[in-house]
Amino acid sequence: MVLRSVKLAEQLTKLSTRFWIQQAIKRPGSLRAWAKREGALTSKGTIDVNWLYEKKRQLQEEAEGEKTLPKNKLRRLRQIILALNFREMPKRGRKKS
C-alpha cells in the first residue's frame, strides 16, 4: 500500500510542476500533421476549430452504444478534446474575461 501511495504522490508532484502541459502532450505535432493531411489548416497555420468539432462528433458517434474505439481513434479523440480545452484556457499573462 505504501508503495502505491508513494507512486501516486510522485505523479501528483510531476503534474503540479510549472510545465504540466508539456508533460500532458505525449505526441507533439501529431494533431497538426493530421489536420494538414486533411487540409484543415487555416491560412495562419492554425487548426480549423470547425474541423476539430466535426472530427470530435464523428469519433463520438462511432463510439456510441456498446462499441469501443480502437486505440488510435481513441487517442485522436483525446487529442481533439485536449486541443479544444486548451483553446478555452487564457493565454499567458492575460486573464480570461
Asked if residue 93 is part of any domain, the answer here is: no
- Classify the phi-psi angles of 65: left when phi > 0, otherwise alpha if psi is within -120 to 50, otherwise beta: left
Instruction: Using alpha carbons, select from 31, 66, 70 the residue that is nearest to residue 51.
Output: 31
Asked if residue 97 is part of any domain, the answer here is: no
Asked if residue 42 is part of any domain, the answer here is: yes
Q: d(Cα 89, Cα 97) in Å, to the nearest integer?
A: 11
DSSP 41: B
- Asked if 21 and 82 count as a contact pair (C-beta separation under 8 A), the reply is no
Domain extent, residue 81, equals 26-88
Residue for cell digits 452504444?
65
Question: What are 9-46's pLDDT values in tens digits?
Answer: 565 565 556 666 776 778 889 999 999 999 999 999 99
Asked if residue 69 is part of any domain, the answer here is: yes
* pTM across the whole model: 0.69
In the chain, the number of structural domains is 1
Asked if residue 61 is part of any domain, the answer here is: yes
Count other Cβ atoms within 10 Å, centred on residue 76: 19
Asked if residue 43 is part of any domain, the answer here is: yes
